[in-house]
Structure 1
Amino acid sequence: MTSPTSANATLSVALPHARTASEVEEALDVSAGGLSSEDAADRLSSAGPNRLPEPRRTHPVLRFLSHFNDTLIYILLGSAVIKAVMGDWLEFWVIAAVALVNAVIGFIQEGRAEKALAGIRGMLSAEASARRDGAWATVPAEELVPGDVVRLAPGDKVPADMRLVQADRLRVDESALTGESVPASKSVDPVPADAGVGDRSSMAFSGTIVSGGQGRGIVTGTGAATEIGRIQALVGDAEALDTPLTKQLDGFAKVLTLVILGMAAVMLAIGRYLHGMPFGELVSAAIGFAVAAVPEGLPALVTITLAIGVQQMARRQAITRKLTAVETLGSVTTVCSDKTGTLTKNEMTVRRIVTPAAEYDVTGLGYDPAGDIVPVGGAVAGPDLAAILSVGDLCNDAHIVQDGERWSLVGEPTEGALKVVASKGGSDGSRSTRVGVLPFDSEHKLMATVHRAPDGSRALLVKGAPDRLLDRSTSQRSDQGRAPLDRARWDAAIDELSGQGLRVLAAARREAGDGDGVDLDDLVDLEFLGVWGIVDPPRPEAIEAIADCHTAGVRVKMITGDHAGTAFAIAREMGIVDDSRTRVLTGAELEALSQEQLKDVVRDVDVYARTSPEHKIRIVRALQAHDEVVAMTGDGVNDAPALTRADVGIAMGVKGTEATKEAAEIVLADDNFATIRGAIREGRRIYDNLRKSVVFLLPTNGAQSLVILFAVVFGFSLPLTPVQVLWVNMVTAVTLSLALAYEPAERGIMQRPPRAPGGSIISGRELGFVLMVSLLIGGATLAAFFIALGASTGMDQARTIAVTTLALGQLAFLFNCRLLSRSSLTLDALRGNRAVWWAAAALIVLQLIYTYVPAFNGLFGSTPISFAWWLVPVALALVVFIVVEGLKALRGRLPF
């Protein structure tokens, strides 16, 4: 056995999948007898325990405080300070509470990469059966070291990466690692050095599950040196990006802050040096201006609008883990989707049957036995069909179970497909008794069973890889009995089915002897019965959803672990590609490209096959280099790094691993691509409503600040006091602003292209529109104030009328904003959103309270007004509505 010194030098082996088992044994200085306890302990001290390293964590207090590092929050906190200076403690605590709630929500929802790493660590096995001191022993998986000999049995979770030295019909479910829907067959033969993870049949990887057979292997990688360890490192390195909305709001808030500060400074200078206003009065006016100009309700409005969107999306089977992801989906330009279970049903289905006498199409999808077998070209179903269906029914270990209206599979997906098609054809093997079986062997790629009929006759039934069964067949079934095998015809038929992306299995049979057993030597002189063409069928609703995405200007790219031919056939059937000349980029080809070269071709390639986790991240980064907003779907742990890096990570809720769900912003409750289409539509609706809300909210602040600015610049009494400004801000924020969050989607929302990345949340044209509306509402407010003063009503009554005009002007503008892109002079502006009417009613009730309740009169400086004076605000509000409609009609011709 090796010495401690030599053990320290033999803890790794390069490319173990490409080396023979004996070469790996020699490189790791180990024999079939395994390690001694002393040698294992020495190696453990050098290699470290077989567990994934804990990530470096930020202190929770620092993580919490980081959520206040945002320009919008600065505005919010600045507003709170101003209100504290003014002594408005109630408003101070309200605004402080909003900032605190934002921070708490962010704190709870962050850390998804750390949680993803925890999910990955949870995939590791707890213990293993290892050869120590010449005997098998159960050891903690954390104590495994390179060179340990480990044995595997069905149901075991592979405890470390290992080079297989024995594989007896060994199959391993690697779906969480590679995305493959079918368990991988393993062998001891080396594979090419450049083989991808999914093609390394000589390896078993940590965290995968043994689904059948037996095996032994030599541990070649533990802890961070395993494939799962590499994925963990990728998750940690794949920093999440700021969302488009976050960037837009941050830029908007910075510009708005500079504008407010600049205008306040100008106002102070004019009031002090032009009009000689007393310093105390000037400071009070400046504070009133700041309170009026700062849209302190904007962060809360954004949060509430997104929260409403989260609820709406949850009803559409899309569970959102991060608020801003709701809006980001609406700006997506490219969706990179996994194939199995997302675009397809993840239920293998026989599509075509070819027998020596005829060809048959099979209808129906998945494991539901409803469907028909239809002869092609006018042929008539005969004994040829019954013979191949009998093999699919009897030489089979799968079972189809009905649970209510849902059919599910117990067993292998491929065998499930054969069981279902046999049921569609009426095959009934219940009277036949199985008396012998040769289980599926990955080396020979076939399975055989012996069955005894009620009359005592025995039949040997075989299914497996077509080439293996053709090699063992000497004849084929025909209408006249057995006929010579037409190998050329079958090779052509197999190539045709494979070119359609179908997985091909073959069936054969012969009469069996009296013995009950069966071995490989018995599988000679077989009668070839035909082949099945099997596919994981596309979801019909996903095909329609992809077409809708293309109409909406959203590209869909398939990234799968499947082979190129299968991937392309499914992509063509789903409408992702429509040209036979379309390029499919494989993982090996992608590996040969530099990142710059990949950037040059990434937008032109829509199908990627045999990909690895690193490939997915490279694809996402290459697309993002073109300013694409990328959504990435995934279900396996191999998808977690790419989901973290993408602008929107979308995990599968049904078959997705916990690591994937924790890395994603959105989890699909139904694993359906059509839900992504609905979520994109919902994201666009939410963004439209958010933009409408911002366009609606800003003129409130703009009109108020302009009224105060005009008063200071021209030296007349303030039409609005700071506390009255707070009142208008409060009643519009709690009533009118939120109503637009419930607006239905605009017409043609999925017929327009995604919005361009970058820029502000409202365009320069819309900002000009906001300024014009601010001048209009502010002018109406000043007009009402001076009309009232001219009638000698007194200052308090004039201000009450001015406040009422400002509130009703905003209500009129709300109906303008419901249809920003078209005229509101239509019944559509009055229906479709009951929240608008509830908000309008609430505003009027609050304004009546403000005007007529004595306590509010004393608090806000208001006073009751006669019914006749209500006509002035109402008339001016109607003027605002009509003039704004005129501005909307002229927007295409004016420079704003």
Structure 2
Amino acid sequence: MQKARADRPVRNPPLDSAWHAEPPDAVIEAFATRADGLDPAEASRRLASQGANELPAPPRVHPLLRFLGQFNSSLIYFLLLASVAAAMLGHIIDATVIVAAVLINAIVGYVQEGRAERALDAIRDMIAPHAIVLRGGERHSVDAREIVPGDIVALEAGDKVPADLRIVRARGLLADEAILTGESVAVEKRERRVPADAPLGDRFSMLYSGTLVATGQAIGVAVATGAQTEIGRISALLSRVSPLTTPLLKQIDHFGRLFTWFAISMAAIVYAFAVLFRGYAWVDALLVVVALAVGAIPEGLPAVITITLAIGVQRMAARNAVVRRLPAVETLGATSVICSDKTGTLTRNEMTARRVTTASGETLVTGSGYAPDGVLESGSPSEEARDRLFLAAHLCNDAEVVERDGQWRVVGDPMEGALATLAAKGGLHAETIREQWSRIDEIPFDARHRFMATLHEGPGGQRRVFVKGAPERVIGMCRAQAQDGSETAIDMDDWSARIAHAASQGERVLAFAEMPARPDTERLSFDAVQNGDLVLLGTVGLIDPPREEAVEAIAACRSAGIAVKMITGDHVGTAAAIARQLAIADDPVAVEGREIDAVSDDELRGLVGRVSVFARTTPEHKLRIVRALQAEGHIVAMTGDGVNDAPALKQADVGVAMGRKGTEAAKEAAEMVLVDDNFASIVAAVQEGRTVYDNIRKVIAWTLPTNGGETLCVILAIAFGLALPMTPVQILWVNLVTEVTLGLVLAFERSEPSVMRRPPRRRDEPILSRFLVWRVVLVSLLFTAGVFFVYEYAMRQGLGEAAARTMVVNTLVVMEIFYLFNVRYLHTTSFSLIGAMGTPAVLGAIAAVVAAQLAFTYAPFMHSLFGSAPISFADGLLIVGIGVALMVVLEAEKAAMRRLMPSALAA
């Protein structure tokens, strides 16, 4: 490595420089600095040359242009056309509803883009505001933005790391790197270099900007600042990720384009035919055609879709999932793969002692969390070595477990809290033991020595040393092992096998030992402990146990055809063991991040289908995994809580951030936030999302055929030179009275029983499936037949044109009511108690429609407005009978479809 000249500003080296693999002296030399820091004048020159230690702000689009950009879609043009058509006929309510829906969609999109910008702001704010640096041999407190490459930075417990640092000196150093790696346990840091190809989570000689110093002290040389840091690279990734258009918006956009051209073409053809071949005056023909267009265009559909999504948002919020973008509700229902982090989402984020191993045997411990509830499962109810281990676990421990508001919580390190709970399950009372065994001295945990030791005075004045730490370290210091009340030689092969077995189950293993101390011992030293008379008591395997509800939720995902992928920064053995316990797959396959680096994007597309666990991953890995899944046609939901998750959260079809332990950057990049950080809440949200899409399909399945029936009646009347069965103003009345009532209630429907037993729909599945197209044609024809039958019946009975048209309007409305009951259940029969009773929303809407139709039929002022006339009770029964016949025919069709073409109903 070439030495940089001290009289020349040093360029910030590229981020891929393997500083973690270089010795500290070489790094200091490379940056032309000294152990006592840069000269202040040199630091100023580098600041002017390199720029401030902050992330660059992205270019901003003017708010007005960003808002106007929300209207640039064919769906919006389609809606505005419908609004103009409605306004031309003085149909102000419909026009107002359409414009309101357009504005709501534009405002939601505008707000979401603003949140994406704030996601970058949240990452920039994670750089520490102040830091201690050595310059010219003196300590200075400087604004973190003034740190330059080559600065010597001093850190203590609780400090936020201000730049990427190569550690020069460390003492008892643990760093919380969860925002970058997702690993739940603080990582030991040390000066020794590590291999150049070590993944981010294993670069023990580095501290990264935005992470926290959990314990200890450190001196490090700044090797990257601003955009060149790891967190800067994540910010750059995030800025390059373009948010995806949701499947629903794509489908509605495509539907809007097709239907707009269809409606315009149909109106033009009918207008020309009416004027040229049927002798209509051009004004009368225009009035009919505009009414026909309003009848054909489902102008209330976008508003109903928006309301349906909003109702889904409310229901998800009640199930601990807060949706920040309306279309994400439906997209979640289409999810085919859920990529989830491990800690706190699939697991409890509460360390639990699961296995106690002594030379005499093994004891499994039940219970989870920090509550002292559980039993010891072993062949021996009492064992001396195990009981002594419990005492050591309780005394060689700085944590405390307390009960507050019915919840047991740990004050201190989670692993030590789990050991305190283990001692309580073993029968030790915390306050009594601490009174009997007073602590005299201690050796805190140190990453260099990898153990902790405490000196206690117990009953009768005896003094004893208790030790806990890494198994290989503690066992290597012991001269013997405790077994059956005596001491025997240590069987290293046996202990290695036991430790390996525990690790294969995803457990983190700690070893415990003890030794007597002289009565006059007042101080502990490393030499006295390492070269003393230690006796091995045994090991404890700790694990962050899976959430019970997550096990059930994953089973529900698998039955619904949704694959679950675990993407974590944790070790591959731990992640694979948790995956097996969760039954993510029949035989979960696990790979590490370095294996992802070794394959191309095309090869990764084949890999992601087979692999269920991705361990030791970086932000780039997560982003590549999500893109590979999307390239295979999957709709991907991604969960995360750290800054390292933000790019993948933004790339995913639905980003799901953790509400409790999630960073602001993750929450701003996500479409949904889980209040309880629980995977089961994701599955509940998927169910609500599927219900929302079902309800949108039901709205379309109800709206298009009813509008189609009205339209077809008019077209056939003009085509065959018949009298119009309804006047244009009566067509508008039907649209007004039904679309704001019956068309809306389907948004409130609950989940059908089979909603989580169906496979997810394809990304390219059209909103008008083959079944819906068939339904539009069939129901339109049935409506048309009913209308002409009633009109012909009334005219043959000599009731007159006004009464005949009144019967037609009532027939249309009644058929729409009965068809509503049929369409409420697309996948099951509507001939059931639940199906017949209806929801309060359905019954309220029907009551409102019936009241409106009674006024239409019998109120004199309505007769003058709409040209209606009263009809007899017997004619009313005939109309109701037609509605019943329609429902019977459609239920028979539905039953035949379920039997002969079950996939058609699901499509």
TM superposition score category, shorter chain reference? over 0.9
SS in 2 for 1:602: helix
2:583 aligns to what? Answer: 575
* Counterparts in 2 of 1:2 and 1:499: CA distance versus 1, 3 Å: closer
Aligned residues with identical type, % of pairs: 47
One of 427, 443, 448 as aligned partner of 2:448: 443
Partner of 1:652: 658
Matched-pair contact (CA < 8 Å) for 1:367–1:407: yes
**Judging changes above 3 Å, is the alpha-carbon distance between structure 1 residues 893 and 482 closer, same or farther for their aligned structure 2 residues?**
closer
3-state SS, counterpart of residue 557 of structure 2: helix
Give the counterpart letter for 1:42 in structure 2.
Answer: R
Corresponding residue SS for 1:137: strand
Cα distance between partner residues in 2 of 1:341 and 1:848 = 59
What is the identity, as a one-letter code, of the residue corresponding to 2:403? Q
1:608 is matched with 614
Partner-residue secondary structure (3-state), 1:603: helix
After TM superposition, list the pairs within 5 Å mapping 1:692-707 onto structure 2. 692-707=698-713
- What is the aligned partner in structure 2 of residue 476 from structure 1? 481
Query: Does 2:362 correspond to 1:359?
Result: yes
Say if 1:450 and 1:460, in contact at 8 Å, map to a contact too.
yes
Q: 1:814 aligns with which of 808, 816, 820?
A: 820
State the Cα deviation string for residues 309-349 of structure 1 (Å, max 9, x = none).
Answer: 11111111111111111111111111111111111101111
Distance 2:876 2:147 in 1: 84
State the one-letter code of the partner of 1:557.
K
Deviation at 1:855, TM superposition (A): 4.5
Q: Tell whether 2:632 aligns with 1:630.
A: no
Query: Is 1:566 the equivalent of 2:574?
Result: yes
Note if 1:197 corresponds to 2:205: no
Aligned residues of 2:174 and 2:216 also touching (Cα < 8 A): yes
Match of 2:687 in 1: 681
What residue is the counterpart of 2:415 in the other structure?
A: 414
Structure 2 counterpart of 1:389, which letter? F
* Superposed displacement of residue 815, structure 1: 1.1
**Once the two structures are superposed, what CA deviation does each residue of 1:827-878 show, in whole Å capped at 9, x if it has no partner?**
3421363322122112111222333444444444434444344234223222
Q: Which residue of 2 aligns with 1:337?
A: 340
Distance 1:64 1:547 in 2: 43
Shift of 1:406: 0.9
Once the two structures are superposed, residues 201-260 of structure 1 have per-residue CA deviations (whole angstroms, 9 ceiling, x without a partner) of 111111111110000111111111111111111111122212121122122222222222
2:98–2:303 CA contact under 8 A, matched in 1: no
| Residues 1:781 and 2:782 are matched in the alignment | no
Task: Provide the residue aligned with 1:6 in structure 2.
Answer: 8
CA gap 1:370/1:721 in 2 versus in 1, 3 angstroms: same
Deviation at 1:12, TM superposition (A): 5.8
Q: 1:211 to 1:294 in 2, by over 3 A?
A: same
CA contact (8 A) 1:73 1:299 kept: no
Look up the equivalent residue of 2:307 and give its one-letter code.
I
Task: Indicate whether 1:508 and 2:513 are aligned.
Answer: yes
Higher mean C-alpha displacement, 692-701 vs 474-483: 474-483
Question: SS state of the match for residue 141, structure 2?
Answer: strand
Secondary structure, aligned partner of 2:45: helix
Kept in 1: contact 2:94–2:299 (CA 8 A): no
Change (3 A) 1:748 1:80: closer
- From 105, 127, 131, the equivalent of 1:124 is 127
| C-alpha displacement of 1:890 | 4.3
Aligned-partner residue type, residue 443 of structure 1:
R
Which of 51, 69, 72 is 2:75 aligned to? 72
Contact preservation (8 Å) 1:465, 1:504: yes
The whole-number CA distance in structure 1 between the counterparts of 2:838 and 2:268 is 44
Instruction: Give the aligned partner of residue 546 of structure 1.
Output: 554
Instruction: Give, in angstroms, the shift of residue 5 of structure 1.
Output: 5.5
Alignment of 1:711-860 (within 5 A): 711-831=717-837, 833-860=839-866
Structure 2 partner of 1:399: 400
Q: 1:205 to 1:814 in 2, by over 3 A?
A: same
**2:831 match: secondary structure:** coil
* Distance in structure 1 (CA, Å) of the matches to 2:420 and 2:121: 39
Alignment match of 2:349 (pick from 346, 349, 355): 346
Work out whether 1:643 is the aligned partner of 2:649.
yes
* Whole-angstrom CA distance in 2 between matches of 1:397 and 1:77: 67
The offset of 1:618, in angstroms, is: 0.5
Q: Is the 8 A contact 1:632 1:650 kept in 2?
A: yes
Q: Deviations over 1:532-551 (max 9, x none)?
A: 01111011111111111111
Query: Corresponding residue for 2:542?
Result: 534
- CA distance in 1: counterparts of 2:638 and 2:165, whole angstroms: 30
Q: 2:497 aligns with which of 459, 468, 492?
A: 492
Aligned AA for 1:541? E
Q: For residue 369 of structure 1, report the CA deviation from its aligned partner.
A: 1.0
1:636 is displaced (CA, Å) by 1.0
- Contact residue 153 and residue 215 of structure 1 kept, 8 A: yes
Q: Which runs of 5+ in 1 are unaligned?
A: none
Q: What is aligned with 2:103?
A: 100
- Find the residue that maps to 2:741 and give its secondary structure: helix
Q: Which moved more, 1:672-681 or 1:805-814?
A: 672-681
For the residues of structure 1 that align with 2:855 and 2:164, how far apart are their CA atoms?
73
Partner of 1:29: 32
- CA drift of 1:2 comes to 8.7
1:203 and 1:346 map into 2 onto residues whose CA distance is 25
TM-score (norm. length: structure 1):
0.96
1:236 alignment partner AA: S
1:105-153 deviation digits (Å, cap 9, x = unpaired):
3323343321211221222211101112321011001111111111001
Q: Residue 667 of structure 2 is aligned with which of 649, 658, 661?
A: 661
Aligned to 1:432: 437
Q: For 1:480 and 1:385, how far apart are their aligned partners in 2?
A: 11
Match of 1:667, SS state, is strand
CA contact (8 A) 2:78 2:257 kept: no
CA distance in 1, matches of 2:345, 2:285: 64
Shift of 1:512: 1.6
CA deviation after TM superposition for structure 1 residue 30, in Å: 0.4
Q: Quote the residue 1:138 is aligned against.
A: 141
For residues 734-782 of structure 1, what are the alpha-carbon distances to aligned partners after superposition, in whole Å with 9 as ceiling and x for unaligned? 2112222222322332222112221321312321221110121122223
For the residue of structure 2 that corresponds to 1:51, the secondary structure is coil
Q: Give yes or no for contact 2:348–2:545 (8 Å, CA) kept in 1.
A: yes
The SS at the match of 1:7 is coil
Letter in 2 for 1:491: S
1:652–1:661: 8 Å Cα contact kept in structure 2? yes
Counting only pairs closer than 5 Å after superposition, residues 228-307 of structure 1 correspond to structure 2 as: 228-307=231-310
For each residue in 1:631-652, what CA deviation from the matched residue of structure 2 results, as whole angstroms up to 9, or x when unmatched?
1111111111111111111111
Letter aligned with residue 610 of structure 2: D
Aligned to 1:737, what secondary structure does the other structure show?
A: helix
Q: 2:465 aligned to 452, 460, 464, which one? A: 460
In 2, distance between residues paired with 1:597 and 1:92? Answer: 52
SS at match of 2:718: helix
Q: Which amino acid aligns with 2:705?
A: P
Note if 1:315 corresponds to 2:331: no
Segments of 5+ residues of structure 2 without an aligned counterpart are: none
Amino acid at match of 2:82: S
- Measure, in 1, the Cα distance between the counterparts of 2:14 and 2:757: 56
Give the CA deviation at 1:11. Answer: 5.6
Q: One-letter code of the match for 1:612?
A: T
Q: Deviations over 1:692-733 (max 9, x none)?
A: 111011112101111221222122333333332222222222
Matched-pair contact (CA < 8 Å) for 1:75–1:294: no
The residue matched to 1:455 in structure 2 has which SS?
helix
217-226 or 95-104, which deviates more: 95-104
Cα 1:105–1:859 shift into 2, 3 Å: farther
Aligned to 1:368, which of 347, 368, 371?
A: 371
Q: Deviations over 1:648-669 (max 9, x none)?
A: 1111111111111111111111
Letter in 2 for 1:537: P
Question: Could you tell me which amino acid in structure 2 is paired with residue 549 of structure 1?
Answer: C
Deviates more, 1:471-480 or 1:178-187: 471-480
Q: Distance in 1 between the 2:568 and 2:5 partners? A: 45
